[in-house]
Structure 1
Amino acid sequence: MSSILSGSIVPERHGFPLSATLGGVDASLKCSALRYPVSPGGMTLIFIHGVSGHKEQYHTTITRLLSLRDVATYDIREIWSIDFPNHGEAATLNRRLLDEYKAHSGKDEGTCTTMDIAAYLHAFLSLSRFRGHNIVGMGHSGGCTVWVRALTMFTSVYPNALILLEPTLMFPFMSPTDPRSIHGAANVRGARAKRDTWSSRAEFRHWLATGGKSIWSRWDPRVLDLYVEHALEEVVSSEGHGSYITPKLRKDEEAAIYTCQAHTIEPSQFASVCTALNEAGRHGVHIIWAELEEFVSKTAKAEILDAAGHRVKTQRTVAGSGHLVGRVVFVVWAFDDLWCEIGSAIATGRAWRCDA
């Protein structure tokens, strides 16, 4: 299929070696990133996806945002979207290392943890190219956990503001009947048991369309096309006869970071991030919720806000959306509204810059 990334707005592809960890052990990991250069000044937006996502999933949303520039009251310098080290194109670049660490650990499941991904994100933010930038971070679902871990494990680099889209933050006191616990456990079981080979991308696309999986029906068709194109890879069979299509994120790696433990933090960690981002000219933590409470219930929202010490700067709800709101294009209006607010604050106030 022809790439949906072609067209009037084509991002640059970049790769960076990052000093991070894998299974808690120091490792040099490769980062795959998309860069959308926009203007000489303004905000630098950094998007990270959730578990089972990939960096290209935001392309349609980003292009819609950039189409609003003529009427926007904020300036964007550049936009970045990066893969987790065991997701998307980054997974193919790190495959040998991921397999070696898994074999060395003696475990059947992947060794890459949310703490490893946090170290990887910190290393990305620490790249010299971001010195002097007004960084605004954005994470979806499990990517929110990664941001909180990165900003509490490492305190040398902080963004100007942070946007959390449907955060699935979990806490030690969480009830096993909480939807986050129930869905987390179901996701682990589902990842381990799910089908993971198809003869072609066309067969995979047909399987999504006809398999009765309502989750896919809510995605923008362009985002679904991006998933089919960029989240899978062709692998030559071990017998050397033919090939098949399989997710770049192996299901053992996926299951390991769906666990509740992977997303459980202390309330004080989230509170410290909110406090730090409300000080020194920074512009706070902002949350965008989905209207449909598929994963994050009213009780869960209250717990997350309580953990923040009610220091979350703003909240918004995207009407008609479910937990995978990051993969539907109408989230663009919530982003645009929020960036108007943050961008105006940066333009008129004393903005913190990434000078570490």
Structure 2
Amino acid sequence: MAPLEFETYTLDPRPHYPFLITAKRYWNPSHYHDDDDALTVILAHATGYHKEHWEPTIEDFYDVLAEAGSNNPVKIREFWAIDAPNHGDAAVLNEELLTWGHTPIFDWQEYARSIHAVLTNLGTGINVDFRSRKLVGVGHSMGAVSIILAGTFMPEIKFLSVILVEPMIYKTGGPIVNFIELSARRRDIWPGYQEAYNQFSSRAAYQAWDSRVLDAYVKHGLRDLPSAEYPDKQGVTLKCTKAQELACYRDTVGKARVWTYMDHLCSTIPVHFIFGAINDSVSKKTQEDLLRNSAKGLQASVARVPGAGHLIVQTSPRALAEAIYVDLGSDIASDFVPGPARTGVQSRL
């Protein structure tokens, strides 16, 4: 397989939208990268992570395509991964703005607005006409909510389908773990990048991660001090500050709006849910409530990745790539007809 290529972009949508938005485009030169018929996949990350966490999944996805051979029906033009405005590289660019009005709660709709700004060419810095592209949205956790919300703003973004990886959408039940408590206790200053890597890699939770993701977490998720939050400190710290991570966990508006919109989405385009087989974040009962009462039993597919929990992107990029490949293949073979008459969840458990 030809090496994966990428370019990094910063969109400046001001004065229409206050945040600078960072994105990265990935493509394989030997696979339909200039084909107007091929898919452009938009990727949104979970709380506390950033766009580069998708890189191992993208790499493994192209391996899956290569293994499928010449009869493979799935054609990918490129992948675009977009940072939330308080995560990754965007968090550094927006650090002063984020100190006012975006704590103690950060509305997930801001991430959706950022995605929408990129895909509607609001501003300067990305010279791509996404309106002419065949778009598929893929989001993990908070990113799944944000992908859906991005499609509700005007002008309309027309996704051909969406793939929701461990979406953090619930009305009852809620998370099994207290993310706010865990985030509040976490360490966020280290003497240097190597010391941070050593500390992460010594902990069981991070040892379960794919090594490529852990490398990206340190390389792209940390920054040099001093910062706006720690103006008198030295060493390295998180690009997404603890205050902003906590602010994301406190939001309830984004997921509430998606809950009431899900049945419309499922009656309009193909929707795919990918869950980890290990319910370590949201209970299976809560997930079933989402499918039954939010999606209202409308046509959708459900896959459960063996051995994975909520952090599928971090622990199981190959298995996730395979699941996404199956979903995209099913879209191509689908006779999906918009409208509420098509009901029933199709399960790949």
TM range (shorter): 0.7 to 0.9
Counterpart residue number, 1:36: 26
The one of 213, 232, 235 equivalent to 1:244 is 235
- % identity of equivalent residues: 26
Stretches (4+) displaced over 3 A? 152-155, 236-242, 348-351
The one of 89, 108, 118 equivalent to 1:114 is 108
- Is 2:159 the counterpart of 1:188? no
- Is 2:52 the counterpart of 1:56? yes
Give how far 1:273 is off: 1.8
In the TM superposition, 1:205-284 aligns within 5 A as 205-210=197-202, 212=203, 214-236=204-226, 243-259=234-250, 261-266=252-257, 267-277=259-269, 284=270
Kept after mapping to 2: 8 A contact 1:51/1:142 = yes
- Is 2:142 the counterpart of 1:142? yes
Cα distance between partner residues in 2 of 1:292 and 1:236: 39
- Is 2:9 the counterpart of 1:14? yes
Cα distance between partner residues in 1 of 2:234 and 2:252: 36
Counterpart residue number, 1:316: 303
One-letter amino acid of the structure 1 residue matched with residue 207 of structure 2: S
Counterpart residue number, 1:47: 43
What are the ranges of 5 or more consecutive residues in structure 2 without an aligned counterpart? Answer: 28-32, 122-127, 339-349
One-letter amino acid of the structure 2 residue matched with residue 166 of structure 1: E
In the TM superposition, 1:273-352 aligns within 5 A as 273-277=265-269, 284-306=270-292, 307-327=294-314, 328-329=316-317, 330-345=319-334
Counterpart residue number, 1:123: 117
Kept after mapping to 2: 8 A contact 1:98/1:111 = no
Kept after mapping to 1: 8 A contact 2:39/2:78 = yes
Please give the TM-score of this superposition, normalised by the length of structure 2: 0.83
Kept after mapping to 2: 8 A contact 1:144/1:164 = yes
In the alignment of these two chains, the number of paired residues is: 316
Counterpart residue number, 2:98: 98
User: More displaced, 123-132 or 256-265?
Assistant: 256-265
Cα distance between partner residues in 2 of 1:305 and 1:313: 9
Give the CA RMSD over aligned residues: 2.6
One-letter amino acid of the structure 2 residue matched with residue 261 of structure 1: T
Kept after mapping to 2: 8 A contact 1:18/1:120 = no
What are the ranges of 5 or more consecutive residues in structure 1 without an aligned counterpart? Answer: 1-6, 21-25, 278-283, 352-356
Cα distance between partner residues in 1 of 2:14 and 2:337: 32
One-letter amino acid of the structure 1 residue matched with residue 249 of structure 2: Y
**Residues 133 and 27 of structure 1: is their aligned pair in 2 closer, same or farther, counting only changes over 3 Å?**
closer
Cα distance between partner residues in 2 of 1:237 and 1:339: 42
Kept after mapping to 2: 8 A contact 1:39/1:76 = no
**Residues 19 and 305 of structure 1: is their aligned pair in 2 closer, same or farther, counting only changes over 3 Å?**
farther
Counterpart residue number, 1:85: 85
**Residues 9 and 181 of structure 1: is their aligned pair in 2 closer, same or farther, counting only changes over 3 Å?**
closer
Please give the TM-score of this superposition, normalised by the length of structure 1: 0.81
**Residues 260 and 123 of structure 1: is their aligned pair in 2 closer, same or farther, counting only changes over 3 Å?**
closer
User: More displaced, 219-228 or 259-268?
Assistant: 259-268
Counterpart residue number, 1:76: 76
